[in-house]
Structure 1
Amino acid sequence: CYTLYQYNLSYYNGKTLDPLQHHSLWGVEWGLHFPTANGEYQSPINLNSREAQYDPSLLDVSLSPNYAVCRDCEVINDGHTVRIILKSKSVITGGPLPSDHEYELHEVRFHWGKENQRGSEHTVNFKAFPMELHLIHWNNTLFTTLEEALGKKNGVLLIALFVQIGKEHLGLKVITEVLQDLQYKGKSKIIPCFNPNTLLPDPLLRDYWVYEGSLTTPPCSEKVTWILYRYPLTISQLQIEEFRRLRSHVKGAELLEGNDGLLGDNFRPTQPLSDRLVRAAFQ
Structure 2
Amino acid sequence: INLKISFFAIYPTAREDQYWCYQSQVMCNDSCPGPEGWAVVSQHCSGRAQSPVNIVRRKTLPDERLTPLHFIGYQETFHARIVNTGHTVQLDLPAGAVIKGGDLAVPYKAIQLHLHWGKDGGPGSEHTIDGEQFPMEMHIVHIKEEYNSLSQALGDRTGVAVLAFFFQEWASANKKYDALVRALKHIRQPSNTTLNGLSLDMLLPPQSNRTTYFRYQGSLTTPSCAEALIWTVFENTIRLSKQQLAAFCQLKFSNGKQMEKTHRPVQPLNGRKVYYSGGHSALVSSTLLIISVMASSGLSLHARG
User: TM-score with structure 2 length normalisation?
Assistant: 0.81
Aligned partner of 1:7 in structure 2 is: 12
Asked whether 1:87 is paired with 2:94, we answer yes
Aligned partner of 1:271 in structure 2 is: 267
1:63-82 deviations in whole A, cap 9, x for unaligned? Answer: 10112534321001111000
Aligned partner of 2:276 in structure 1 is: 280
Aligned partner of 1:215 in structure 2 is: 220
Size of the aligned set, in residue pairs, is 264
Give yes or no for contact 2:21–2:35 (8 Å, CA) kept in 1: no
CA separation in 2, counterparts of 1:195 and 1:47?
Answer: 29
Match of 2:202 among 193, 198, 204: 198
Instruction: Quote the offset at 1:213 in angstroms.
Output: 0.4
Give yes or no for contact 1:117–1:130 (8 Å, CA) kept in 2: yes
Aligned partner of 2:160 in structure 1 is: 156
Aligned partner of 2:71 in structure 1 is: 65
Aligned partner of 1:234 in structure 2 is: 239
Structure 2 counterpart SS, 1:10: helix
Q: Which has the higher helix share?
A: 2
CA separation in 2, counterparts of 1:92 and 1:189?
Answer: 27
CA separation in 2, counterparts of 1:38 and 1:249?
Answer: 25
Aligned partner of 1:27 in structure 2 is: 35
1:237-263 deviations in whole A, cap 9, x for unaligned? Answer: 11112111111137xx6xxxxxxx100
More divergent stretch after superposition (106-115 vs 163-172): 163-172
Aligned partner of 1:139 in structure 2 is: 144
Structure 2 counterpart SS, 1:107: strand
Match of 2:49 among 34, 37, 41: 41
With over 3 angstroms needed to count, the CA separation of the structure-2 counterparts of 1:75 and 1:281, relative to structure 1, is same
Give yes or no for contact 2:216–2:274 (8 Å, CA) kept in 1: yes
Give yes or no for contact 2:189–2:251 (8 Å, CA) kept in 1: yes
Instruction: Quote the offset at 1:56 in angstroms.
Output: 1.2
The CA RMSD measured in Å over matched residues stands at 2.0
Aligned partner of 1:113 in structure 2 is: 118
The correspondence of residues 153-192 of structure 1 with structure 2, limited to 5 A, is 153-166=157-170, 167-185=172-190, 187-192=191-196
Give yes or no for contact 1:247–1:262 (8 Å, CA) kept in 2: yes
More divergent stretch after superposition (75-84 vs 23-32): 23-32
With over 3 angstroms needed to count, the CA separation of the structure-2 counterparts of 1:88 and 1:205, relative to structure 1, is same
More divergent stretch after superposition (17-26 vs 241-250): 17-26
1:141-199 deviations in whole A, cap 9, x for unaligned? Answer: x32322211141321000000001113223222110111111112x2111122111123
More divergent stretch after superposition (64-73 vs 38-47): 64-73
Give the fraction of aligned pairs with identical amino acids, expressed as a percent: 28
CA separation in 1, counterparts of 2:84 and 2:187?
Answer: 6
Kindly provide the amino acid, as one letter, of the partner of residue 72 in structure 1: H
Aligned partner of 2:300 in structure 1 is: none
Give yes or no for contact 1:84–1:108 (8 Å, CA) kept in 2: yes
Question: Gaps (5+ residues) in structure 2?
Answer: 28-32, 283-305
Give yes or no for contact 1:91–1:104 (8 Å, CA) kept in 2: yes
CA separation in 2, counterparts of 1:262 and 1:122?
Answer: 22
Asked whether 1:74 is paired with 2:81, we answer yes
Instruction: Quote the offset at 1:203 in angstroms.
Output: 2.5
Give yes or no for contact 2:137–2:167 (8 Å, CA) kept in 1: yes
User: TM-score with structure 1 length normalisation?
Assistant: 0.87
With over 3 angstroms needed to count, the CA separation of the structure-2 counterparts of 1:55 and 1:23, relative to structure 1, is farther
Structure 2 counterpart SS, 1:181: helix
With over 3 angstroms needed to count, the CA separation of the structure-2 counterparts of 1:239 and 1:6, relative to structure 1, is closer
CA separation in 1, counterparts of 2:140 and 2:21?
Answer: 25
Higher CA-based Rg:
2
Instruction: Quote the offset at 1:33 in angstroms.
Output: 1.5
With over 3 angstroms needed to count, the CA separation of the structure-2 counterparts of 1:151 and 1:46, relative to structure 1, is farther
